[in-house]
Amino acid sequence: MATKKSTPKELRQSPRQLEMAVYALHLLNGAQKSIDHEDIAIKCHELAPELFAWRKYPDQVNLELVRVSLSDAKKEKNGALVSGSGRDGWRLTPAGVTWLAGHTHLLSPSGGRFGTHTARRTAGSIDTVRRDRESRRIEGSPAWSTWLTEKQIDVEETRKLFRIDSYTSPKLLGVKIARLLALFDGGSDTRRFLEAAAERLKSEGSTDA
């Protein structure tokens, strides 16, 4: 009998180390590429030094605290928000990208809203150019047309959308899904469509992301 996947707990007003580590990875473009452990540690220390500093040396970042936070974020019971390791680097999973879309505003040390990663893109930037290109490709796909008219998504059309085949590993598929999701703001039609498409693949056993 299949067990239901755990979902991450709701954020508290005071951000925890796990949450800030995931957010730091997000700011470093962790949905598009693997990020080195030390780079994440530096970003964590910039965002919330009191969470990742040594007790006796508060001006220095504790790399082990960051590693433990990322390892915890990788666990199924915490939502499997990241993948990777200290040796290979870390990246956001599709679940991590979706989670951030709804919770990033709670991660500011001051309790304010940082805004979304997509909103900070400037015209002509690499991310914006890629987003526009992918938007045209998605909206010109049969999967998009079927979803708009029938609210259904064909598995084969979805595989073409994510540029995969039946031999694609779940790990690689997770990478491809996360990359596309991160390009579009949560709540947009394109984002909702991509999330539905990813769920369609999951229902067919194409991914465990």
pTM of the model: 0.72
Tell me the domain boundaries of the chain: 17-115, 126-203
pLDDT of 75: 94
Helix (H), strand (E) at residue 82:
strand 82-85
Residue 197: Cβ-neighbour burial (10 angstroms; 0-12, 13-18, 19+): buried
Residue 163 region, left (φ>0) first, then alpha (ψ -120 to 50), else beta? Answer: left
In 3D space, the residue among 27, 182, 39, 36 whose CA is nearest the CA of residue 99 turns out to be 182
What does the alpha-carbon distance between residue 126 and residue 133 come to, in Å, rounded to a whole number? Answer: 11
Maximal CA-CA distance, the chain: 61
Task: Kindly report, residue by residue over 56-86, the tens digit of the pLDDT.
Answer: 888 899 999 999 999 999 999 999 999 999 9
pLDDT given at position 36: 96
Q: Which CATH architecture has domain 17-115?
A: Orthogonal Bundle (1.10)
| Contact assessment for residue 91 and residue 84, using Cβ atoms and an 8 Å cutoff | yes
Supply φ then ψ for residue 188, to 5 degrees.
Answer: -75, 160
Beta strands 82-85; 89-92: pairing state: antiparallel
- The string of pLDDT tens digits covering residues 35-58 is 999 999 999 999 888 888 888 888
